[in-house]
């Protein structure tokens, strides 16, 4: 469940990190808490997922990790960015609006979540208005994505605004959780149970859908291990 405070729903901010250090260190979590973070999650492109069959990079360098934090005060964002900047070569952050079509399983703090967590950075094509793009993505594509893939967790993060200087122009960040076998097995990724014809049908339907809102191009997909830190 997304964090809710006494004063209402917390603000979610997502940071992409390049060339990151140890994000699971206790002192880092403590520093984030001291800066006002009420909840934190780290998605790390680590050795567990290094052989993932699906990995796409549009950025000039591959993203090493994504840290999501929940804050009660927008003014705390700069302090969080500074802390993350102390353990990464480069940091870019965005304020996002979260939707959870499939709630991920609850995992104890600091433990690796089961499976593979893919982070997809989406960009809106210039040919689509914001309203049209959003409708095609959230209202039309969501059902197709769930029906054609073996996801057991699905979180959509609509970018509202950048929170760091010169943050790349990203429209949304999507997190999808798959069985660990999906690292290298297309049938496990798409849930086609070893049926090659069904696999082809699912891939064809999915790609037709992503084409409608531009997610078949200009996209970064980062395979990660998922950790809840706070």
Mean pLDDT over the full length of the chain: 95
Both tokens assigned to 184: 């290298």
Give the CATH number of domain 4-228.
Answer: 3.30.70.100
pLDDT beyond 90 at 144: yes
Of 77, 68, 60, residue with least CA distance to 19 = 60
pLDDT beyond 90 at 202: yes
Neighbours of 43 (CB within 10 A): 27
Share of the chain above pLDDT 90, in %: 94
pLDDT digits (tens, 9 = 90+) for 205-228: 999 999 999 999 999 999 999 999
- Taking the domains of the chain in order of start, what are their residue ranges? 4-228
With a CB cutoff of 8 Å and minimum separation 6, the contacts of 114 are: 105, 107, 180
pLDDT beyond 70 at 2: no
Give the pLDDT confidence score for residue 7 in this predicted structure: 46
Q: What is the pTM of this model?
A: 0.94
Banded pLDDT at 1 (limits 50, 70, 90): low
């Amino acid at each position: 469940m997304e964090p809710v405070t006494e004063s209402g729903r917390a603000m979610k901010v997502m940071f992409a990190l390049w060339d990151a250090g140890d994000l699971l260190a206790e002192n880092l979590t403590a520093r984030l808490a001291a800066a006002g973070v009420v909840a934190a999650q780290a998605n790390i492109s680590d050795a567990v997922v290094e052989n993932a069959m699906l990995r796409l990079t549009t950025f000039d360098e591959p993203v090493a990790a994504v840290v999501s934090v929940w804050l009660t005060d927008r003014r705390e964002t700069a302090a969080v960015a500074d802390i993350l900047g102390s353990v990464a070569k480069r940091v870019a952050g965005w304020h996002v609006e979260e939707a959870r079509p499939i709630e991920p399983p609850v995992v104890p703090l600091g433990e690796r979540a089961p499976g593979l967590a893919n982070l997809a950075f989406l960009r809106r094509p210039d040919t689509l208005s914001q309203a049209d793009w959003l409708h095609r993505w959230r209202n039309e594509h969501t059902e197709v994505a769930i029906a054609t893939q073996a996801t057991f967790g699905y979180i959509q993060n609509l970018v509202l605004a950048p929170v760091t200087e010169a943050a790349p122009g990203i429209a949304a960040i999507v997190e999808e959780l798959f069985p660990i076998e999906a690292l290298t097995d297309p049938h496990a990724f798409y849930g086609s149970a070893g049926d090659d014809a069904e696999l082809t049908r699912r891939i064809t339907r999915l790609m037709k859908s992503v084409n409608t809102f531009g997610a078949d191009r200009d996209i970064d997909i980062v395979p990660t291990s998922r950790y809840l830190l706070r």
